[in-house]
Amino acid sequence: MSLMPYTYFMPTRVECGNGISEKTGEMIKELGVKNVLIVTDKGVRAANLLEGIEKSLHAANVNYEIYDEVEPNPSDETIHKGTEYLKQYQNDAVLAVGGGSSIDTAKGIAVMAKNPGHIFDYEGVGKIAIPPLPIAAIPTTAGTGSEVTASTVVTNKETLFKLAVISPYLYPKLAILDPALTLNLPQEITAATGMDALTHAIESYTSKAANPVSQALAIHAVKMIGENLTKAYFVGTDIKSRENMLVASMIAGIAFAQSRLGNVHAISHTFGGVFNIPHGIANAVLLPFVMKFNLPACPEKFKDIAAALGKDVTGLSTIEAAEEAINAVIEMNRTMKIPLNIKDLGVSKELIPKLVEDSMRSGNVHVNPRLTRPADIQLIIERAYDGILEEF
């Protein structure tokens, strides 16, 4: 039980079900929306994932335009271009359809449609003064949980830094979880986004800012991901495991919206900004090394995580059981052909000083369970570079 006062707040309406995205129009209309901007990427559009959504908008007499310029690790340029597009067509809400990049971009567009200046002006917590346009989100990957969080992450292309904008205003009004939209995901995206969700759940559970509500959600998400991710990876078309992964990703999002995250995200965001490495893959590769660093600070919680991931910890000491949590993550990475070191991701040792400096700018460092200094971040990166998992 937490000794600190805490608040639990999650205002997003969540609708989940196979094929439910074909009712998007009527649900959007209930928000009072008449003219929505769909924010997505060209891959989602080419895969015809918008077809049922568009039909439902037509049926509900909701006008829409499509902005499909979203890229991985979306930049401020993409957000501001989308904002101009929205103003041109006078849309009164945004509907994100896609992965975390689309949802984050939609959030940024909704903010800038109503607030002055530049998206970077709102870096940090609670800087948004004017409520944004209504935000709805339909995730097509089971990973980021952004459909239920109060944050968006934006890349500054000039400084190669990924910054976070955090505000209760950024909670979407509506999240629609339709596992049918995830059935044809490539294996590598299933793996990357699934490990992103697992990282959210583990970092939320061990965060210094966690509370009893967020921890209950986080450990349940860990269990669901442990039971469903590899099946979704190897079978792909199993609708139940796809639905469970979408729900687990959402639950992990609800958890970390309360607790923040930790050193994995502090470092992985720099990898995305500097090297444009996919966020989920960066998280997956870094996770065992940060867990090893954090283990002395919270071995009891790691024991819980090991059990949630299906490890038999009967008869083991707390430390031995905690080590099994790390082993479980390594096994999942290996099973899904995720690299076991960051050298294979294209990380350059020459840029470690910048990576350390940018990582320490993240608020996630402050809620990491183990006190973290710049030298610690450097050591984690160096160990992860060569794939050396030793005591810290």
Residue pLDDT, tens place only, 304-317: 999 999 999 999 99
- Is 60 exceeded by the pLDDT of residue 355? yes
Q: Say if residue 173 is in the same domain as residue 146.
A: yes
Q: Say if residue 200 is in the same domain as residue 347.
A: yes
Q: Say if residue 59 is in the same domain as residue 95.
A: yes
Q: Say if residue 134 is in the same domain as residue 239.
A: no
User: Residue 6 domain-assigned?
Assistant: no
As a whole number, mean pLDDT of residues 244-249 equals 98
CATH of the domain at 69: 3.40.50.1970
Q: Say if residue 59 is in the same domain as residue 93.
A: yes
The last residue of a domain, from among 140, 158, 182: 182
Q: Say if residue 149 is in the same domain as residue 191.
A: no
pLDDT grade, residue 392 (50/70/90)? confident
Q: Say if residue 249 is in the same domain as residue 168.
A: no
Q: What is the pLDDT of residues 250-295, one digit of tens each?
A: 999 999 999 999 999 999 999 988 898 999 999 999 999 999 999 9
pLDDT grade, residue 1 (50/70/90)? very low
Q: Say if residue 192 is in the same domain as residue 143.
A: no
User: Residue 376 domain-assigned?
Assistant: yes
The per-residue pLDDT for 371 is 97
Number of domains in the chain: 2
Q: What is the pLDDT of residues 187-198, one digit of tens each?
A: 999 999 999 999
The per-residue pLDDT for 3 is 61
The last residue of a domain, from among 153, 182, 211: 182
Q: What is the pLDDT of residues 152-207, one digit of tens each?
A: 999 888 888 888 999 999 999 999 999 999 998 999 999 999 999 999 999 999 99
- Cα gap 114→79, rounded to integer Å: 13
Q: What is the pLDDT of residues 3-53, one digit of tens each?
A: 678 888 899 999 999 999 999 999 999 999 999 999 999 999 999 999 999
Q: What is the pLDDT of residues 52-101, one digit of tens each?
A: 999 999 999 999 999 999 998 899 999 999 999 999 999 999 999 999 99
Domain housing 49: 13-182
User: Residue 317 domain-assigned?
Assistant: yes
- Is 50 exceeded by the pLDDT of residue 121? yes
The last residue of a domain, from among 163, 182, 201: 182
User: Residue 146 domain-assigned?
Assistant: yes
